[in-house]
């Protein structure tokens, strides 16, 4: 009698873990599919603008001619 009660498919917590695992996998695959179906358009960057901030490290000195 106790043997039947302890089988894995009778324990509700096991089914909860299985459902959570399947839901996580389905959600992950849906996100990957959405990422491939709805691709972003490549934006063309405008002309580069010099940064108003000073450099964070010392720049090498230009060679003297």
pLDDT in tens, 5-36: 778 888 899 999 999 999 999 999 999 999 99
Check residues 12 and 47 and name the one with the higher pLDDT: 12
SS3 38: coil
Encode 19-58: b = buried (16+ Cβ within 10 Å), e = exposed: eeeeeeeeeeeeeeeeeeeeeeeeeeeeeeeeeeeeeeee
What is the Cα–Cα distance from 18 to 11, expressed in whole angstroms? Answer: 11
In the DSSP assignment, the letter for residue 51 is: -
- Give the per-residue pLDDT at 1: 56
Mean of all residue pLDDT scores within the chain: 83
pLDDT at 45 over 90: no
Whole-structure pTM value: 0.54
């Amino acid at each position: 009698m106790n043997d039947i009660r302890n089988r894995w498919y009778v324990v509700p917590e096991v089914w909860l873990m299985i459902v959570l695992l399947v839901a996580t996998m389905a959600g992950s695959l849906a996100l990957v599919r959405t990422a491939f179906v709805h691709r972003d358009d490549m934006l063309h960057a405008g002309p580069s603008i010099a940064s108003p901030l000073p450099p964070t490290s010392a720049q090498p000195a230009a060679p003297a001619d």
